[in-house]
Amino acid sequence: MPNRITPDDVRSVARLARLAVTDEEVELFAVQLAAVLEHAEDVEALDTEGVPPTAHPLAMENVLRDDVARPGVDRAEVLAMAPASEAGRFRVPRILGEAP
């Protein structure tokens, strides 16, 4: 199979990724990238008709606890403990300067 990845392709990708590569690395990466593409072609040639898409090879179960609603803290009680409140909310110092 002819090498579809040329050294110029590797240099171009390296430049886009802002990577410094030596001439030896360019040659090595061209061979390695060609091998990756060849493997992708092998996978693409597989008959996957009737095979459902999967995200994980084993069945996964949700290990989180059940979401159970429970009463929260009383708003008035919490606001009473705050250093400052206004209109049912916490009042905090302005950090962005003047209001628009």
pLDDT by residue, tens only, the chain of 100 residues:
455 899 999 999 999 999 999 999 999 999 999 999 999 999 999 999 998 888 888 887 877 888 899 999 999 999 999 999 999 999 998 887 766 5
Please name the residue that has the structure tokens 């410094």: 20
Output the CA–CA distances (angstroms, integers) from residue 22 to 11, 19, 44, in the order listed.
9, 10, 32
Domains of the chain (ranges; CATH) run 7-44 (1.10.20)
Structure tokens at 66: 């059940």
- The DSSP output letter for 18 is T
pLDDT of residue 27: 95
pTM, two decimals, is 0.48
User: Angle at Cα 46 formed by Cα 44 and Cα 47, nearest 5°?
Assistant: 125
- What secondary structure letter does DSSP report for 94? -
